[in-house]
């Protein structure tokens, strides 16, 4: 990066000039931002735990903020503030769902501990320390990164254009809110058993045998087989379909390919060869309760196939970082010089360039360091280990925050490989804990604590830098946005524990197993748990993990675009990946229609923006309604159901209606060819 910072500053002209002082850090903007922070964060927690993916909250937060503040006579900088605070909850949620459930999946926390005041305080402390660290790191780097002409910040530019468009006319809020209501209604009807939200059937294989004979026909050995295949329909889920629509047909197909491998190859193959030995358990021999073949298929998938998928995710995360190695090295090499440049620019105090005081930032970072040490000492009960873990967190946290911010500038926060960065840290921390002699439960807890803090820090850093770039374009005041995000991170950290708790315990009360189970797969947290257990606790199912690692190497050799998505598809229930695939197919249909109608770039952009808003609304609507019903289950509140045996034929009609909405309105809103092109808001 060149050193012409002052030159670039003079060329840049924000929408609201530096000498113009509009209301910005107002009560209505902050309160609205905090509400969106929790709501969008909770929705992303729901989605991430179930589907292993989150959506960028910048666009929904921008649209909702504009719609509400327009009624309240708010200005564009208040909208910018509300969006900034509102979107930070998604990054806190991403950091939380990638790591907090790992404490339960790894067995270092039991259910009673998680539900206790102690569990709440530990979870909140991890999120607060990581989030505040991420904000402080980005504050040191903000100026040089947002002014770097080599970083396009695609999602930031799109979000800023949404704000500008809102000043001249429609905001798209009607489609977003309408889709939220539609998604919530479908989830409500599913919970009332108006239609079947899922369907499955087990097809038994004919009992056969495979014999090995000599050249003379003598039978040397014989392997008997039975078992079968569990056939599952896509889940009737607006959220999953919305995710598939947003990521598009190619990525949705890759995710679905993982599901096909798991449920079309591995599970049937294992059941075929294990079938004869499993039959007594399945049929309930010796007076035991019959398990049944569908349940046995789930057990085989969870205990054998999932560790293979985790091996695939591990290599895939490393491969993702390797593909980005040039950008990673550049980000690391620049981070130190960027701090020096940021410190040297302290004389510039014009409103649009004023950050939080460097002395205040360093003081807060000192406090973060102390809090981190106390947190790790509390987890490990080992002074040396706590000191080492703190040093690792501060160094790795800063560098990964810089890398995260740099990658967001290149490819947007939606594509930021947070889990890959976190896995790298987790492995380093685990090896260090073993070298220091910290093993067992305390070692696993300390490793997960380090990973959780850094994951949260990197996620917050990337999201915040994206929002600071929007503010740079619109003319927002950096220190006010940084202060607003500090409030948002702390508030989200104190509140987002409760959606996690409600989802986990609500699933258990509904007959599930909570985090790591069928309904709340939490693939990233499962990966963190298995790695920490395997390295520190010696509990890794290494043969299965190694098989998965070799499988991912095979994916890489045949040039699969995203081995990680395929591996995640193996880890998730088939009904989830199938529903995401349905969403991808719907988006493919929209693309085909656009090609047939010969939409120009402007029409394609309008169609895509409208589709993304509707898909985001479907996701948020189901997620919020899902949280409501999880809360009812949490408190053991029974609700009325229409029938005990809902029909899946009605479910097919629901699929058709969702597809109709996601096809008709984006195509309808493409507009005429001579209208100017809006920014692309593809996630």
Token digits for 227? 């078992």
Distance CA 566, CA 553 (A): 12
Could you tell me whether strands 200-204 and 219-225 are parallel, antiparallel, or unpaired per DSSP bridges? unpaired
Give the single-character DSSP code of 1: -
Q: Which residue has the tokens 């030159």?
A: 7
Element (H, E) at 204: strand 200-204
Instruction: Report, as ranges of residue numbers, the positions in the chain whose pLDDT lies below 50.
Output: 1-10, 346, 680-683
Could you tell me whether strands 200-204 and 228-232 are parallel, antiparallel, or unpaired per DSSP bridges? antiparallel
C-alpha distances in angstroms, 306 versus 258, 503, 511?
11, 22, 21
Q: What is the DSSP string of 331-356?
A: HHHHHHHHHHHHHHGGG---GGG--S
Residue 515, helix vs strand vs coil: strand
Q: Quote the radius of gyration of the chain (alpha carbons, Å).
A: 26
Element (H, E) at 232: strand 228-232
Distance CA 366, CA 133 (A): 10
Would you state the pLDDT for residue 1? 34
Give the single-character DSSP code of 206: P
544-548 contact pairs (CB < 8 A, 24+) = 544/304, 544/307, 544/308, 544/311, 545/307, 545/308, 545/310, 545/311, 545/314, 546/311, 547/308, 547/311, 548/307, 548/308, 548/309, 548/310, 548/311, 548/312, 548/313, 548/314, 548/315
Q: Among 34, 39, 27, 36, which residue's Cα sits nearest to residue 72?
A: 27
Distance CA 230, CA 236 (A): 18
Cβ atoms 83, 467 nearer than 8 A: yes
Would you state the pLDDT for residue 563? 87
Note the pLDDT tens digit of each residue in 458-505.
888 888 888 899 898 898 899 999 999 999 999 999 999 999 999 899
Would you state the pLDDT for residue 8? 39
């Amino acid at each position: 990066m060149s050193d012409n910072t002052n030159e670039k500053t003079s060329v840049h002209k924000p929408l609201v000039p530096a000498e113009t002082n509009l209301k910005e850090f107002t009560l209505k903007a902050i309160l609205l931002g905090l509400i969106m922070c929790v709501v969008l964060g909770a929705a992303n927690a729901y989605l991430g735990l179930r589907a292993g993916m989150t959506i960028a909250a910048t666009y929904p937060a921008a649209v909702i903020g504009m719609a509400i503040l327009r009624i309240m006579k708010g200005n564009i900088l208040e909208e910018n503030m509300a969006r900034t605070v509102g979107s930070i909850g998604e990054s806190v949620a991403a950091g939380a769902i990638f790591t907090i459930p790992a404490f339960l999946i790894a067995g270092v926390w039991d259910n009673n501990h998680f539900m206790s005041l102690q569990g709440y305080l530990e979870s909140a402390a991890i999120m607060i320390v990581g989030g505040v660290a991420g904000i402080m790191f980005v504050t040191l780097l903000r100026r040089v990164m947002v002014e770097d002409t080599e970083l396009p910040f695609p999602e930031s530019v799109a979000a800023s254009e949404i704000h500008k468009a809102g000043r001249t006319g429609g905001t798209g809020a009607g489609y977003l809110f309408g889709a939220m209501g539609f998604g919530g209604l479908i989830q409500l009807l599913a919970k009332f058993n108006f239609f079947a939200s899922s369907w499955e059937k087990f097809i038994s294989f004919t009992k056969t045998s495979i014999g090995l004979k000599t050249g003379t026909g003598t039978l040397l050995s014989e392997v008997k087989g039975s078992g079968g295949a569990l056939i599952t329909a896509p889940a009737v889920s607006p959220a999953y379909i919305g995710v598939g629509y947003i990521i598009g047909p190619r990525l949705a197909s890759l995710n679905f390919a993982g599901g096909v491998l798991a449920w079309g190859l591995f599970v049937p193959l294992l059941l075929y060869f294990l079938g004869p030995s499993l039959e007594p358990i399945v049929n309930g021999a010796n007076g035991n309760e019959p398990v049944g073949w569908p349940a046995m298929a789930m057990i085989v998938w969870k205990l054998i196939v999932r560790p293979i998928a985790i091996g695939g995710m591990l290599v895939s995360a490393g491969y993702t970082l390797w593909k980005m190695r040039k950008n990673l090295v550049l980000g690391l090499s620049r981070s130190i010089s960027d701090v020096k440049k940021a410190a040297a620019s302290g004389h510039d105090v014009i409103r649009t360039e004023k950050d939080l005081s460097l002395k205040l930032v360093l003081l807060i970072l000192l406090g973060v360091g102390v809090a981190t040490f106390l947190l790790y000492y509390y987890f490990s009960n080992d002074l040396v280990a706590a000191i080492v873990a703190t040093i690792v967190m501060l160094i790795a946290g800063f560098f990964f925050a810089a890398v995260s911010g740099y990658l967001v500038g290149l490819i947007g926060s939606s594509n930021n490989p947070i889990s890959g960065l976190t896995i790298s840290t987790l492995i380093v921390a685990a090896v260090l804990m073993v070298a220091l002699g910290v093993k067992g439960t305390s070692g696993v807890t300390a490793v997960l604590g380090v990973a959780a803090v850094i994951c949260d820090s990197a996620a917050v850093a990337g999201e915040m830098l994206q929002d600071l770039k929007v503010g740079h374009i619109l003319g927002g005041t950096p220190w006010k946005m940084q202060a607003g995000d500090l409030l948002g991170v702390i508030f989200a950290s104190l509140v987002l524990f409760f959606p996690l708790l409600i989802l986990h315990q609500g699933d258990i009360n509904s007959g599930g197993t909570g985090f790591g189970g069928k309904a709340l797969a939490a693939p990233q947290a499962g990966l963190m748990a298995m790695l920490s257990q395997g390295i520190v606790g010696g509990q890794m199912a290494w043969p299965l993990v190694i098989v998965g690692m070799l499988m991912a190497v095979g994916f890489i050799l045949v040039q699969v675009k995203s081995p990680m998505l395929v591996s995640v598809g193996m880890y998730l229930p088939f009904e989830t990946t199938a529903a995401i695939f349905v969403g991808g197919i719907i988006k493919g249909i929209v693309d085909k229609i656009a090609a047939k109608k010969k939409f120009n770039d402007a029409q394609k952009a309008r169609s895509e923006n409208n589709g993304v808003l509707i898909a985001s609304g479907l996701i948020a609507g189901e997620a919020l309604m899902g949280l409501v019903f999880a809360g009812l289950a949490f408190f053991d509140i029974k609700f009325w159901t229409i029938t005990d045996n809902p029909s899946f034929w009605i479910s097919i009609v629901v699929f058709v209606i969702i597809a109709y909405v996601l096809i008709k309105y984006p195509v309808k809103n493409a507009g005429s060819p001579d209208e100017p092109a809006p920014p692309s808001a593809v996630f």
